[in-house]
């Protein structure tokens, strides 16, 4: 065979030998593992979670395999810094779990956006996958938390609302009458103002002459301190209502501030005042909690 033909033959064989390697090198890299199918997440908050300043992150697995979540973070612009859990947990098929995390401070200058949950998870014995899920927020919990926190900040620019250490009362037994003396302590300086329209009755306590305390009080920074005396009575005489109480001694103030925020600001009683309110409720209603 002539030398030229032999050279061409070797070149062709070499090209054919290298072609698969070249194609392999140009092929797309293997796809990263994806999050387990059937995994979803939602944001919730129960009554006690509101009091404790916690957010509930609820994971649900509607897939066929057990899912292991190694870690996750919750991010949204209106929460400063987000939330994180690094302790792994397992979620069986057709199961759900509610995880409670402490809420960070709110950001009042941020625009609302969907809640993203970034996580590392795997199904069964599969590979770990990193990804993100958009959390469902059916009750607009994050927006409500942000609104309440930012209203509280605006209120603080005008004045502090301070519940008393003790309940003031007269009389005894079913004739006993009581008053919650709420102190209004305006900020020393600044231009913050607010209007306290009313205080709503609770599941445990109402106004003596109705349900709510209608006020219409204007407060401004730099003013002298004042006291709002609230005559209180049991909302209803029910031993079960007292035993099951969770929010009955938290007074909801309806407030509008000079920067345009408005809504309810919850002001809780201290443990000492709470105990005295329970005792007053029991005495005025003539309840015998030791019976039965």
Query: Phi and psi at residue 17, in whole multiples of 5°?
Result: -70, -35
**What residue ranges define each of the domains in the chain, with the CATH number in brackets?**
39-139 (2.60.40), 151-285 (2.60.40)
Report the range of poorest mean pLDDT among 10-24, 81-95, 164-178, 214-228.
Answer: 10-24
Q: Which of 195, 284, 194 is nearest to 242 (CA)?
A: 284
Report whether 251 contacts 193 (CB < 8 A). no
Query: Phi and psi at residue 125, in whole multiples of 5°?
Result: -100, 20
- Taking the C-alpha atoms of residue 159 and residue 216, their distance in angstroms, rounded to an integer, is 15
The pLDDT, as a whole number, for residue 210 is: 96
Report the range of poorest mean pLDDT among 3-12, 57-66, 173-182.
Answer: 3-12
Residues 247-290: pLDDT tens digits? Answer: 999 999 999 999 999 999 999 999 999 999 999 999 999 998 76
Give residue for tokens 């009755």.
201
pTM for the model stands at: 0.80
Mean pLDDT across 177-190? 98
Per-residue pLDDT at 17 exceeds 50:
no
Mean pLDDT across 117-125? 93
Give residue for tokens 């066929």.
64
Residues 34-45: pLDDT tens digits? Answer: 899 999 999 999
Report whether 244 contacts 198 (CB < 8 A). no
Give residue for tokens 């770990």.
128
């Amino acid at each position: 065979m002539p030398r030229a033909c032999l050279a061409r033959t070797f070149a062709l064989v070499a090209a054919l030998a290298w072609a698969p390697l070249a194609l392999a090198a140009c092929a797309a890299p293997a796809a990263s593992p994806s999050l387990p199918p059937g995994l979803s997440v939602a944001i919730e908050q129960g009554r006690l979670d509101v009091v404790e300043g916690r957010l509930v992150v609820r994971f649900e697995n509607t897939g066929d395999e057990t899912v292991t979540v190694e870690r996750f973070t919750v991010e949204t612009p209106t929460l400063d810094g987000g939330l994180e859990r690094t302790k792994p947990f397992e979620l069986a098929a057709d199961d759900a779990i509610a995880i409670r995390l402490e809420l960070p401070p709110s950001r009042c200058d941020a625009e609302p956006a969907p809640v993203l949950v970034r996580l590392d998870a795997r199904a069964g014995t599969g590979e770990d996958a990193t990804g993100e899920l958009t959390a469902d927020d059916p009750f607009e919990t994050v927006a409500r938390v942000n609104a309440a926190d930012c209203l509280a900040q605006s209120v603080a620019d005008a004045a502090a609302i301070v519940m008393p250490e003790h309940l003031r009362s007269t009389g005894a037994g079913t004739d006993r009458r009581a008053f919650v003396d709420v102190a209004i302590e305006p900020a020393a300086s600044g231009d913050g103002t607010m209007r306290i329209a009313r205080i709503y009755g609770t599941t445990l306590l109402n106004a003596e002459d109705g349900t709510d305390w209608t006020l219409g009080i204007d407060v401004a920074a730099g003013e002298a301190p004042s006291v709002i005396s609230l005559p209180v009575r049991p909302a209803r005489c029910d031993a079960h209502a007292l035993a099951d109480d969770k929010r009955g001694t938290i007074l909801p103030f309806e407030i509008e501030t000079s920067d345009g925020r408005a809504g309810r600001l919850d002001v809780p009683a201290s443990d000492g005042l709470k105990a005295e309110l329970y005792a007053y409720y029991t005495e005025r209603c003539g309840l015998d909690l030791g019976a039965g």
